[in-house]
Amino acid sequence: MTGARPAATRTPPRLVTLVALSGVAALSMNVFLPSLPGMARDFGVPYAVMQLSVSAYIGMSALVQLLGGPLSDRIGRRPVVLGGLVIFLIATVGTLMAPTAGSFLAFRMLQAAVAVAILVPRAVVRDLYDGSRAASMIGYVTMGMAVVPMIAPVIGGILDELFGWRSNFTVMGLLALAVFVAAFLDLGETVRGGGTPLRQQLRNYPILARSVRFWGYCAAATLASGTFFAYLGGAPFVGERVFGLSPAEVGYFFAAPSIGYMTGNFLSGRFAGRLGMSRMILLGAIVCVVPVTLALTADVSGIISPWVFFGAVAMMGLGNGMVLPSANAGMMSVRPDLAGTASGLGGALAIAGGAVLSALAGALLTPGRGATPLLCIMTCSAIGSLLAILWVIRREKRTLG
């Protein structure tokens, strides 16, 4: 990386290492999604129980980010991310050996430790860059969270059909091990001066809590992410029960939002520095709202097609890819010295909201109801994200006035 601020205590990591960390965290979330219906049959439990491996996992990831952010500000980015990867590897072995759905879900919750690989790369970028430049670099880093989900469900669906669902977790563990080695060798510490003491961080929390900008950016990120997390919770059911797709076919269609998200990240990397954070978020929110609203209208009108549904989701992913890098950079810009705390708190709120929407999607999707409940959730969440950034822009204009 170039253009970094001096005084980091170790050599900053390569961009590819940060991308790989983001990617392995995304991999753990969605590689096995095409297998969910089959896993429910294998363990002899309802789909809603097995769907907890998505919604409850997302909720646990929120808790991990809430704790991991301040911890990374205190003891450093490197030990937090390496420790999280070790826990994830141990938990992955547990999922492979689990004899019951209950034990599987317990180890699945431990796998959420890998969520530190989401917040740490963002905080590292904020350690090294300022403002819109940070938003631009986060756009490139989070492309790892787009490329991997684009490929993972396709591979996961094929592996499921060839070797069964446990092969997905085997691949997950092997790739996480490779990323751990890369991070161990390359991830330098970027927290300066020994970090911020936890007691001082607690005293500084009210500064974040009183910031309209922080909460506005948080709401924009949470509700934009909510469209995707709701999709994660409901798309396997919709793909199999509504459209009659096989696990492999569901995996192919799962690439749709990832292609859009990767494109949105690229656009954010190219243009966030020129347009500014708020304007980039606004454009992304509009791109997110329009297609899901049109898809909901088509569904209610009786146009039931996987191409309409997944096409709209691809455009939704494009909007998310434009919104999230700038929203995350905006959250961390309120207090740069608390970048890890802001990243963890904002990420926790986004993922917690996503967990609720994912669980809601799983609960509302029942035979005979089609994709309408899922599209309703996604549309409302996208509109909420648009309203949040409009609120931030309005407050910014008042401040400048």
For 125-156, write each residue's pLDDT tens digit. Answer: 777 776 566 666 666 676 656 566 667 777 88
Task: Find out whether 345 and 66 touch, Cβ atoms under 8 Å.
Answer: yes
- Please state, in angstroms and rounded to a whole number, the distance separating the CA atoms of residues 142 and 164: 30
- Please state, in angstroms and rounded to a whole number, the distance separating the CA atoms of residues 139 and 110: 28
What is the pLDDT at residue 381?
92
Cα 81 to chain centroid, rounded: 16
Which positions ≥6 away from 116 have C-beta within 8 Å?
64, 65, 68, 72, 80, 81, 83, 84
DSSP state of 238: I
Task: Find out whether 294 and 312 touch, Cβ atoms under 8 Å.
Answer: yes
- Please state, in angstroms and rounded to a whole number, the distance separating the CA atoms of residues 324 and 327: 5
What is the pLDDT at residue 278?
84
Q: Over its length of 401 residues, how does the chain's per-residue pLDDT go in tens digits?
A: 444 333 334 467 777 888 888 888 888 877 887 788 888 888 888 877 887 887 788 778 878 877 887 788 778 888 999 999 999 999 999 999 988 988 999 999 999 999 888 888 877 877 777 656 666 666 667 665 656 666 777 788 788 888 888 888 998 899 999 999 998 988 877 776 555 566 666 666 677 777 778 888 889 988 988 888 888 778 777 877 788 887 777 767 777 777 788 788 778 777 777 777 888 999 999 999 999 999 999 988 888 888 888 889 889 989 988 888 888 777 777 766 666 667 667 777 777 777 788 778 777 776 767 788 889 999 999 999 999 999 988 887 776 55
What is the pLDDT at residue 131?
58
Task: Find out whether 331 and 221 touch, Cβ atoms under 8 Å.
Answer: yes
For 365-379, write each residue's pLDDT tens digit. Answer: 767 677 888 899 999
The secondary element (H helix, E strand) that includes residue 179 is helix 166-186
The secondary element (H helix, E strand) that includes residue 234 is helix 212-237
DSSP state of 13: P
What is the pLDDT at residue 150?
62
What is the pLDDT at residue 195?
56
DSSP state of 273: H
CATH 1.20.1250.20 for domain 15-400? yes
Q: Which of 317, 283, 292 is nearest to 390 (CA)?
A: 283
* pTM assigned to the model: 0.66
